[in-house]
Amino acid sequence: MKVLVLGSGGREHALAWKIAQGKGVEKVFIAPGNAGTATVGQNVDIGVNDFEKISDFALKEKISLVVVGPEDPLVNGIVDFLAEKGISAFGPSKKAAMIEGSKVFTRDLLAKYRIPSAEYSAFTDAESAKAYLRKKGAPIVVKADGLAAGKGVIVCETEVEAEQAIDRIIVAKEFGAAGAKVILEEKLVGEEASYLAFTDGKTVVPMASSQDHKRAFDNDAGPNTGGMGAYSPAPVVTKKIEKEVLGKIMFPAIEAMRKEGRPYKGVLYAGLMITEKGPRVLEFNCRFGDPETQVILPRMQSDLVHVLQACIGGTLAEHKVKWSKKACTCVVMASGGYPGSYEKGKEIFGLEKAAKLRDSVVFHAGTRLENGKVVSSGGRVLGVTALGKAIGESIANAYKAVALISFEKMHFRKDIGQKALLRMKKSSGKTRQG
């Protein structure tokens, strides 16, 4: 069979890499892809939102399965579009993808079905939002309603910061149409975790837990980014917490979507805050996470294509997904200045050396081939990923690979996974004392 993966980031490289290992997979195409995806399949120069060209290519090449990476085409309805052409695609319908397409929709859904989350209110004008802010005070979280490439969430410690965030979103329209509405939300206190699950609209099969690092700099300082690294498993998601996440969040969310006439098939990604009172939903995403996918898929022992097809066909209950007991860590190497302005076209050195390391794989995010050389073409450039017997070993292996790679003005966090080590140390201390 032939598979087409849509997207050009690290998530898509990881998906193409894992899909290419599947039994019966003859060829993997990636549209538009990057320098890394070209090593596991064939890149195709088609944009992810060019639905007509995608369907024409899929029909011409007799593609058996289209796997959609980014949220934009899902929210724009690509799965419905391809289905009308008789093309099988993995991901939620346009109506179901609203769970990421509109934060107001999701907040209302959570409130209606009593799924644990934060207190919130939504506004279409700045003055009303600021009046609510004065009533609630800070700290508070200000969010653009629509898709903003992971940058539409602003955590504000003071009312002045919150007022500025409201003005950026509604008045200055920094996020365009995504900021037509703004949400002001209670700031939840705890530790974040990412929880992804496969679903066919009825059955929910969890993936291995993971934790992303959103802030640009060490010790969670600086602006939010698309993600500077991740690790799996996340020790904060204990067996007790996982049971609560599944019972109070994931299953109820899938059932809520069904009741709303928006049956959900695909990956449901819950961004969680693990608070003293238990897990709370920060956001839902309608696709694989990035960089979470880079640490989850190397731990997956089952055939990914079979699982994706089961989600589409409604037979997920018949599949048991197996996971390695090994841990995995991904360190994102970014362009200097990211998530602000940055330069492109920087030649990347050391990729061949890093590729020779055991248990390591370098997923490309923002790269392209230029005159036979791999150069940077985005903010997040590489996701340097490694397995290990435990989290500490996977962290050491990832940074060992990072040390072999270089490009001008590169930037990466040096503390990926430290929260996990700290939590495990505290946990073992309590066990000894007990």
pLDDT tens digits in sequence order for the chain, 434 residues long: 999 999 999 999 999 999 999 999 999 999 999 999 999 999 999 999 999 999 999 999 999 999 999 999 999 999 999 999 999 999 999 999 999 999 999 999 999 999 999 999 999 999 999 999 999 999 999 999 888 776 788 889 999 999 999 999 999 998 998 889 999 999 999 999 999 999 999 999 999 999 999 999 999 999 888 899 999 999 999 999 999 999 999 999 999 999 999 999 999 999 999 999 999 999 999 999 999 999 999 999 999 999 999 999 999 999 999 999 999 999 999 999 999 999 999 999 999 999 999 999 999 999 999 999 999 999 999 999 999 999 999 999 999 999 999 999 999 999 999 999 998 888 766 544 33
**What letter would DSSP give residue 39?**
G
pLDDT at 34 (0 to 100): 98
Longest CA pairwise span in the chain (Å)? 65
Q: Give yes or no for a contact between 183 and 198, defined as CB atoms under 8 angstroms apart.
A: no
Please state, in angstroms and as integers, the Cα–Cα distance from residue 323 to each residue in 52, 200, 300, 301, 320, following that order: 37, 20, 5, 5, 10
Range 196-318: architecture per CATH: 2-Layer Sandwich (3.30)
Answer yes or no: are the C-beta atoms of 86 and 23 closer than 8 Å.
no
Q: Which residue has the tokens 């975790």?
A: 193
Which two tokens mark 207?
Answer: 């993936």
The tens digit of pLDDT for each residue in 299-340 reads 999 999 999 999 999 999 999 999 999 999 999 999 999 999
DSSP, residue by residue, 312-340 = HHT-GGG----B-SSEEEEEEEEETTTTS
Give the contacts of 258 (CB within 8 A, at least 6 positions apart): 201, 264
- For CA atoms 394, 400, 405, 406, the dihedral sign is positive
SS3 42: strand
Q: Measure CA of the first residue to CA of the last residue in the chain; give whole Å.
A: 55
CA 332 to CA 12: how far, in whole Å? 15
Q: Has this prediction a pTM greater than 0.85?
A: yes
3-class secondary structure, 410: strand
Q: What is the DSSP string of 339-368?
A: TS------B-B-HHHHHTSTTEEEEESSEE
Fold of 327-424: Glycinamide Ribonucleotide Synthetase; Chain A, domain 4 (3.90.600)
Residue identified by tokens 């969040």 is 249
Alpha-carbon distance values, 164 to 121, 129, 174, 281 (Å): 18, 11, 12, 25
CATH class name, domain 125-180: alpha beta
Identify the residue whose tokens are 């989350």. Answer: 117
Residue-wise DSSP of 133-190: HHHH-SSEEEEESS--TT--EEEESSHHHHHHHHIIIIIS-TTGGGGSSEEEEE---S
Of 143, 147, 136, give the one whose Cα is nearest residue 168. 143
Backbone angles phi, psi at 83, to 5 degrees: -60, -40
* Amino acid code (one letter) for 294: Q
Decide if 360 contacts 384 (C-beta within 8 A).
yes
Q: How far is CA 34 from the centre of its chain?
A: 18
The candidate with the shortest Cα–Cα distance to 395, out of 299, 325, 329, 326, is: 329
3-class SS at 277?
coil
Q: Which fold has domain 2-94?
A: Rossmann fold (3.40.50)
Of the candidates 398, 318, 321, 307, the one whose C-alpha atom is nearest the C-alpha of residue 360 is: 398
Q: Contact 231/301 with Cβ under 8 angstroms?
A: no
Domain range summary for the chain, segments of one domain joined by +:
2-94, 125-180, 196-318, 327-424
